[in-house]
Amino acid sequence: MFFSIDPSDGVAIYDQIVRQVKFAIAEGTLRPGQLLPSVRQLSQQLAINPNTIARAYQQLQSDGVIETWRGRGLAVCAGATERCQELRRALITERLRFVLAEALHGGLQAGEIRAMVDRELGSLAGRVATVASPPQVAGPG
């Protein structure tokens, strides 16, 4: 699993980690019983303060997505896949609702919004990495 952290995103770094773990579980990249990297490993990999990673892991435990396996580390809970699929749908629905309300408030008509969404979906198709995708390195040109 590859994390993509963007400090300028406007979303707290720990929340980006929480979302990406939940999305990875929803997508099946992380499966029930699978161990997560330790706080230390992930903080070194992402060059992020270990307290930030620990806070994300605490949130995931509170949400019932991961659990502590004594002597082994943190693992994905049984039943987490379905829970994370629901959470993913809810988060995306909330964000879409916000954007759609902004578009309607700005005076756009439903047909215009649909055309914009279709155009943007078409332009992104096959070009957006998922949580299972390795990070893309910019090439020449």
Structure tokens, 43: 């903080």
* Average pLDDT of the chain to the nearest whole number: 89
33-50 pLDDT, tens digit per residue, is 999 999 999 999 999 999
DSSP letter (8 states) at residue 100 = H
Taking 3-state DSSP, the helix, strand and coil percentages for the chain, each rounded to the nearest 5, stand at 55, 5, 40
SS3 category, 94: helix
* Confidence band for 109, pLDDT divided at 50, 70 and 90: very high
- Is the pTM here over 0.85, yes or no? no
Radius of gyration for the alpha carbons in the chain, expressed in angstroms and rounded: 18
For the chain, domains (ranges, CATH) are: 9-127 (1.10.10.10)
For residue 134, what pLDDT is reported?
57
